[in-house]
Amino acid sequence: MSGKKSNLQTEVTISKSEFKASVVKHLHCTLGTDENKANNHAWWKATCAAMQEQVLEGLRKTQKTHYLNDTRAVHYFSAEFLMGRLLSNNLQNFGLFDVANDALNELGVSLSDVLEEEPDMALGNGGLGRLAACFIDSLATMDLPAIGYGIHYEHGLFRQEIQGGAQIERPDSWRDYGNPWEICRPESIQEVSLYGYVETKYGENGRIQKEWHPGHIVKGVPWDIPVVGYGGKNVNVLRLWQSKSSGYFNWDVFNAGGYVDAQVENVQAETISKVLYPNDETEAGKELRLIQQYFFCACSLKDIIRRYKRAHGDDWSRFTDQVVIQLNDTHPAIAIPELMRILVDRAELDWDSAWAICTKVFAYTNHTLLPEALEKWPARMIEKILPRHLEIIYEINHRFMKEVDKKWPGDNEVKAKLSIIEEGNEKMVRMGNLSVIGSFAVNGVAEIHSKLVKQNLFPEFDALWPGKLTNVTNGITPRRWLKACNPSLSKLIDKKVGADWPLDLKQLEGLAKYADNKTFQKQFMQVKQQNKEVLAAEIKRSLDLDVDTNAIFDVQIKRLHEYKRQHLALLHIMALYRRLLENPDYDMHPRVFIFGAKAAPGYKLAKDIIFAINKVAEKINNDARVNNKLKVAFLPNYRVSLAEKMIPAADVSEQISTAGKEASGTGNMKLALNGAITVGTLDGANIEIAEEVGDDNIFIFGLTVDEVNALKKSGYKPYDYYYKNAEIKAVLDWMETDYFTPGKPGALSSIKQSLLDHGDQYLVLADYEAYSEAQKRVDEAYRDKERWARMAIINTAKMGKFTSDRSIQDYVERVWKLKSCPVNKA
Ligand code: OAK
């Protein structure tokens, strides 16, 4: 079958020669250099500038259309947006990739080299931040009026170096040499108040009025990043706030004494947006973090209200028709009392009217059940930074407790559980409870996760407000995660099912009928082979390690966390090594285990696991006895742009979290979409992936959520597994020797201790045998080339459900009630 053309109508039609002229013009006029002097960085900037001309035209038209239609819009509040690189994405979405490639070629420049110049925009830690990036891509693609609101961090997630096997954190300076995509909007600067005290006043009508006298005011400067929808017609905005000093200092407050302590004096406004907290799924509890959260919420709400008032003046009656705000986890939950403050103290609405507005505006997504990630702030900290907000939180809680009492009269236990305030030595404000109470919808991110949110995290809320808690299974944008990152596979798919799948991923289903077709199998696996060669070259460049591309490329890429169980994979790698040493003829297909992971800088055991992987890798990779069968590659500085190189080359996708711990996972979807077969537990979206691909096309192993609970209840004893299973014992004992760390016995023993003496919270040893057995099934399946090809094709074919367009459509229909608004031609 010949290649089919896409039905996609792109807005932009710019010829190769026009594009070329534009790049050269920007080289001269924007960068002040010329074709002879320019290095790749200058070419990158000039190409971005040429692209940005198109982008900004699209943005202008989109904003005009939304303004003229006075559209309802979703405002996606997120402390993290893990965008990655934008040039390749924008070229793809405008349908200009080939044009740019040819244009640069004629200028003697390689587009792929130029693309490598772009620093990742790493303003996020992991899943939650990348999901936000996929969602704004889908929103723009689906012509939905939407704005992303977040923080313009000066430093994104740290750059990871590996030295002597250990992780070293280096600052990420993504905009040191300028960011060609962002536009500063000084006309929309906002001011944000902090600290100070609250004055109670009595109005003429006897109404109590509160006035917050802030101790500090900081400026929020908005930077807009255009978000180009696929097809290039609709261009939305990601608005990120940078903090600046306002020069304001309240001497009255200071002189009154007591309200402004020494620390406040030292607050440097600019530090607020200085750096992204690198903790993934652990609550930092730091004052600056709360200030960051409030800062971006306050700026964003003011921005939304300014825009609303431009159309509706002081009439609040239409606010909830126009505005919906999605809270990406609890990080922006402080927006709830902030909106109440604006409505009650500023707009002088009565409490009930204000609350009615608030609870029609906010919706909240929960992204984790891990207790250490559930945000709680000391009431005293909130009182100091946001004194009026604490009063409002108490008032919300007081009224809510009355509602609880109506439902469960006199039940103090249920009240204590549902209260926003956790009593104890130190009063804490539970942001999860505040979010549920202040929102009209609450969702988890995969079926099982949402079920657990209902059953375990918020069961009483579910009883109180049936239907409020719901599920929206996550998704990923197929534009970045297949079309752009895997062009060879994309072209092959185009030939079979046409070129419209990036907008309608269910069309991939059309590949299933070729799953047994020998020619297609060959083509599909040839693409995989080429991608493996590209990754092998990257491994060589990065680690100076040679890997055999006929080996199984077994990939585990995600944040390093005990619940994700990279150490389970490590134990198995050590066991394979041991089997090979004991029996050089041990029958296994060659395998390369490939890791990418950053650990939170303060998470000791996670860093120890990275160290252990690297030390084991070093030993294995230098052991000629096993090298034809086994290699381990830990690629440093895992990030979006590296994921784009690893995912197309993966044969196996490791998704091995303890059942009940991974809310959804999205890497699992990206890898399966690119034809990798999952080795996974029945956790998060793995369950839904298994439903889509069928049991024959996935390797499921390990304890289920119910089994995990039962085992824990019966008293889990990891030592039992250590003594029962000789391999587990041998491998754990091996860690205590100096075999992997010559001269330093015990350098890896913290892992053994965590698994034995500290109780193995994540049941690594309990799942070990099942995991090892599942890996044998993988080995066996891979040796049957046709079977494997079939499985890989089916995986790609059945990933339609996991496009983020479907997730967004679910939100639109079930939560946001939003209408698409295609951009007018003119
Ligand atoms: C990060 C900080 C606090 C709370 C949650 C997170 C987070 O990244 N959670 C992850 O969210 C992803 C997107 O929903 C999920 O796919 C991951 O399973 C979840 O761990």
- Which residue has the least CA distance to atom 3 on ligand 1? 281
3-state secondary structure 617-668: HHHHHCCCCCCCCEEEEECCCCCHHHHHHHHHHCCEEEECCCCCCCCCCCHH
What confidence tier does 825 reach under pLDDT thresholds 50, 70, 90?
low
What ipTM was predicted for this assembly? 0.99
* Beta-ladder partners of 596: 557
Tokens of 441: 């919808």
What are the backbone angles phi and psi of residue 540, rounded to the nearest 5°?
-65, -45
CA distance 163 to 287: 32
Asked if residue 167 lies in contact with residue 357, where contact means CB atoms within 8 angstroms, the answer is: no
Average pLDDT rounded to a whole number, residues 340-359: 98
CA distance 237 to 146: 8
Question: According to the model, what pLDDT value does residue 698 have?
Answer: 98
pLDDT in tens, 693-730: 999 999 999 999 999 999 999 999 999 999 999 999 99
Question: According to the model, what pLDDT value does residue 250 have?
Answer: 59
pLDDT in tens, 141-150: 999 999 999 9
What confidence tier does 553 reach under pLDDT thresholds 50, 70, 90?
very high
| Helix%, strand%, coil% for the chain, nearest 5 | 50, 15, 35
Higher pLDDT, 7 or 13: 13
CA distance 567 to 613: 8
Q: Which of 564, 572, 661, 752 is catalytic?
A: 564
CA distance 370 to 761: 12
Burial classification of residue 35, based on how many CB atoms lie within 10 Å of its CB (0-12 exposed, 13-18 middle, 19 or more buried): middle
SS3 519: helix
Average pLDDT rounded to a whole number, residues 342-370: 98
Question: According to the model, what pLDDT value does residue 203 have?
Answer: 80
Q: Is a pLDDT exceeding 50 seen at residue 258?
A: no
Q: Is a pLDDT exceeding 60 seen at residue 805?
A: yes
Residue ranges of E strands in 329-479: 362-365, 376-378, 421-422, 428-430, 441-444, 469-471
Is 75 marked active-site? no
pLDDT in tens, 734-781: 999 999 999 999 999 999 999 999 999 999 999 999 999 999 999 999
Residue 170: its H or E element: strand 166-170
Over the chain, what is the mean pLDDT? 95
CA distance 500 to 804: 16
Q: Is a pLDDT exceeding 70 seen at residue 254?
A: no
Is 559 marked active-site? yes
What confidence tier does 253 reach under pLDDT thresholds 50, 70, 90?
low
Higher pLDDT, 247 or 786: 786
Asked if residue 421 lies in contact with residue 397, where contact means CB atoms within 8 angstroms, the answer is: yes
Q: Is a pLDDT exceeding 50 seen at residue 826?
A: no
The number of CA neighbours under 13 Å toward the Cβ of 583 is 7
Q: Is a pLDDT exceeding 60 seen at residue 264?
A: no
Cα dihedral across residues 526, 532, 534, 540: positive or negative: negative
Question: According to the model, what pLDDT value does residue 284 have?
Answer: 78
Q: Of 123, 128, 130, 447, which is best to mutate to test ligand 1, by the most ligand atoms within 8 angstroms of its C-beta?
A: 128
Average pLDDT rounded to a whole number, residues 322-346: 98
- Which residue has the least CA distance to atom 1 on ligand 1? 281
For ligand 1, say whether the CB of 445 is within 6 Å of any of its atoms. Answer: yes
Q: Which of 26, 367, 468, 496 is catalytic?
A: 367
* Beta-ladder partners of 223: 184, 240
Average pLDDT rounded to a whole number, residues 661-686: 98
Q: What's the 366 CA to ligand 1 centre distance in angstroms? A: 8
For ligand 1, say whether the CB of 452 is within 6 Å of any of its atoms. Answer: no
Tokens of 526: 């040839």
The C-alpha R_g of the chain, in whole angstroms, comes to: 27
Edge-to-edge strand list for the sheet holding 652-655: 630-634, 591-596, 552-557, 652-655, 677-680, 699-700
Q: Is a pLDDT exceeding 80 seen at residue 11?
A: no
What confidence tier does 9 reach under pLDDT thresholds 50, 70, 90?
low
Closest CA to 702 of 719, 725, 686: 686
For ligand 1, say whether the CB of 432 is within 6 Å of any of its atoms. Answer: no
CA distance 267 to 565: 40
Q: Of 78, 329, 367, which is best to mutate to test ligand 1, by the most ligand atoms within 8 angstroms of its C-beta?
A: 367
3-state secondary structure 691-707: HHHCHHHCEECCCCHHH
CA distance 228 to 51: 11
Is 5 marked active-site? no
Question: According to the model, what pLDDT value does residue 259 have?
Answer: 46
Asked if residue 76 lies in contact with residue 146, where contact means CB atoms within 8 angstroms, the answer is: yes
Closest CA to 677 of 524, 512, 792: 792
DSSP structure class, residue 191: E
SS3 383: helix
CA distance 357 to 354: 5
Is 704 marked active-site? no
Q: Of 135, 282, 664, which is best to mutate to test ligand 1, by the most ligand atoms within 8 angstroms of its C-beta?
A: 664
CA distance 122 to 154: 10
Q: Which CB contacts under 8 angstroms, 24+ apart, belong to 417-425?
A: 417/460, 418/460, 418/461, 418/464, 420/393, 420/396, 421/379, 421/393, 421/394, 421/397, 422/376
Ordered domains of the chain (ranges, CATH): 70-85+120-474+809-816 (3.40.50.2000), 478-704+764-802 (3.40.50.2000)
For ligand 1, say whether the CB of 128 is within 6 Å of any of its atoms. Answer: yes
Looking at the chain, the whole-number percentage of residues with pLDDT higher than 70 is 96
Burial classification of residue 404, based on how many CB atoms lie within 10 Å of its CB (0-12 exposed, 13-18 middle, 19 or more buried): buried
Is 558 marked active-site? yes
Q: Which of 45, 341, 558, 565 is catalytic?
A: 558
What lies within 8 Å, CB to CB, of 335 at 6+ separation is: 77, 297, 298, 300, 301, 325, 327, 362
pLDDT in tens, 362-377: 999 999 999 999 999 9
For ligand 1, say whether the CB of 475 is within 6 Å of any of its atoms. Answer: no
Q: Is a pLDDT exceeding 60 seen at residue 262?
A: no
For ligand 1, say whether the CB of 126 is within 6 Å of any of its atoms. Answer: yes
Q: What's the 436 CA to ligand 1 centre distance in angstroms? A: 18
Question: According to the model, what pLDDT value does residue 598 have?
Answer: 98
3-state secondary structure 294-327: HHHHHHHHHHHHHHHHHHHCCCHHHHHHHEEEEE
Higher pLDDT, 204 or 554: 554
What confidence tier does 266 reach under pLDDT thresholds 50, 70, 90?
very low
3-state secondary structure 766-809: HHHHHHHHHHHHHHHHHHCHHHHHHHHHHHHHCCHHHEHHHHHH
Question: According to the model, what pLDDT value does residue 265 have?
Answer: 42
Is 729 marked active-site? no
Which atom of ligand 1 is found nearest the CA of 368? Answer: 5
Question: According to the model, what pLDDT value does residue 204 have?
Answer: 77
Q: Of 78, 82, 134, 281, which is best to mutate to test ligand 1, by the most ligand atoms within 8 angstroms of its C-beta?
A: 281
Q: Is a pLDDT exceeding 50 seen at residue 414?
A: yes
